Homo-oligomer: A and B are copies of this chain.
Amino acid sequence: MPLIVQKFGGTSVADAERIRTVADHVARTRAHGNQVVVVVSAMGKTTDELIRMASEVSKSQPGREMDMLLTSGERVSMALLCMALADLGVKAASFTGSQAGIITDTDHTRAKILEVRGDRLREALAGDMVPVVAGFQGVSTARDVTTLGRGGSDTTAVALAAALAADFCEIYTDVSGVFNADPRIVPAARKLERVSFEEMLEISSSGGRVLALRSVEYARNHSVELHVRSAFTWEPGTWVVREDTRMEQPVVSAVTHDVSEAKLTVAGVPDKPGIAARLFRGLADRSINVDMIEQNTSIEGTTDISFTVPKEDFEVSRAMAEALAPEVGASGVFSDTHIGTVSLVGAGMKTHPAVAAQMFETLAAEGINIEMISTSSIRISCVVAQEEVEKAVQALHSSFGLG
């Protein structure tokens, strides 16, 4: 009998009616001859509300206690979903991350999964039950409750699908799939039927918000096919699968954008070994996630190093760069918080060298200045002024025939 892991996000279980709707869908999936394992997030805005309470109570929020606090959210949604399933005559049982055997490291609030045991889930399936598992949480090797960080429920679902050798993993969300541009900016944006893991990784890392990067990495590493679809319309969504020869390889699959970052430039850096290392080691030690890094060829013995960081880490990063600049003999630090990144992603790009040229021409024709460029084998990203981002996305979507 096929085994499907179905993951429902917070908006999909936001109230009593939606929980009953989800229960109905799970019951139908079973009635069609499938075994089902369900993964749920906390209801609606529960997690944000708990974080607000914590900040109201305390200035120091130890990670271990934040995790204890936040993991209360999924208990509520999963217990309620099991009750709704019982009303439909479907035997179900809820399992915490710990009960499901999701073993993590001890890095509270952003733990990594080390092992998925899943014995109790297998027992439940063997007993013709639907296990309903708390997303986002696990238990550490020190026997403490942990959470997996933002997007953790997707990772839970993928990890369970891998451990239980599920046929595939359905990620139900509030949008109907992965689009080839943000439909709020490009009305002609189309839903993608299939993308490869690699494309999905690039889409997620360059601003696509449908799937957390981590869960896509996990899915790729364990060959778990994903089906991203809507818990509101229930229509087929986007399949994320292993790239194969039968797969159509569009040159460009999607245009993505991201306005959550800021840019810093350390200018006039003497061209000698170790300076970049000092800068980025300092940022890494503060857990600042640097995205793009660009260093031009040295001219007359000095060079400029530019990089982007999340806006929330901007002030800390600038202070670090400004402290370092005189120490290493750099001439100064420039920064810009009004930037955005526009990217093209496509598995076929590897064999079509003209994509970059066409991208730059399209932006030039719109009078948009490119501040930084970075590429991977299947992605090209340009940093532009923040107010030009929407126009850039629209122009690229049209130029590459994605409508």
- Does A19 count as interface, using CB distance less than 8 angstroms? yes
Closest CB in chain B relative to A347 CB, distance in Å: 43
Are A62 and B86 closer than 8 Å at their CB atoms? Answer: yes
Asked whether A59 is an interface residue with its Cβ less than 8 Å from the other chain, the reply is: yes
Given contacts A16-B53, A19-B57, A57-B20, are A72 and B76 in contact (CB under 8 A)?
Answer: yes
Q: Which residues of B contact A68 (CB under 8 A)?
A: 75, 78-79, 82, 94, 96
Residue of B nearest to A75 (CB): B72
- For the complex formed, measure the closest distance between the CB of A48 and the CB atoms of chain B, giving whole angstroms: 14
**How far is A20 from B87 in the complex, measured between Cα atoms in Å?**
41
Q: Are A86 and B65 in contact (CB under 8 A)?
A: yes
B80 touches A53 (CB 8 A): yes
Cross-chain contact of A94 among B50, B59, B65, B96 (Cβ < 8 A):
B65
Q: Considering residues A58, A61, A79, A93, which has the most beta carbons from chain B within 10 angstroms of its beta carbon? A: A79
Decide if A54 is an interface residue (CB 8 Å cutoff): yes
Q: Taking the complex as formed, is A373 at the interface, i.e. its CB lies under 8 A from any CB of chain B?
A: no
A64 located at the interface, meaning its Cβ lies under 8 Å from any Cβ of chain B in the complex: yes
User: Is A56 engaged at the interface, CB distance under 8 Å to the other chain?
Assistant: yes
Residue A5, interface by CB 8 Å:
no
Task: Give Cα distance in the complex from A145 to B87, angstroms.
Answer: 21
- Decide yes or no whether A370 CB sits under 8 A from chain B: no
Given contacts A68-B94, A83-B62, A87-B58, contact A99 B143 (CB under 8 A): yes
A27 to chain B minimum Cβ distance, whole angstroms, is: 13
Q: Which residues of A contact B (CB under 8 A)?
A: 16, 19-20, 50, 53-54, 56-62, 64-66, 68-69, 71-73, 75-76, 78-80, 82-84, 86-87, 92-94, 96, 99, 120, 143, 145
* A and B contact pairs by CB, cutoff 8 A, 19 listed: A16-B56, A50-B76, A53-B76, A54-B79, A54-B80, A57-B84, A58-B86, A58-B87, A62-B82, A66-B83, A68-B78, A68-B82, A69-B80, A69-B83, A71-B75, A72-B76, A72-B79, A75-B75, A96-B145
With A16-B53, A62-B82 known, 20 other A-B pairs at CB within 8 A are A19-B57, A20-B57, A53-B80, A54-B79, A57-B80, A57-B83, A60-B83, A61-B83, A61-B86, A64-B94, A65-B79, A65-B83, A65-B92, A68-B79, A68-B82, A68-B94, A72-B72, A72-B76, A72-B79, A96-B145
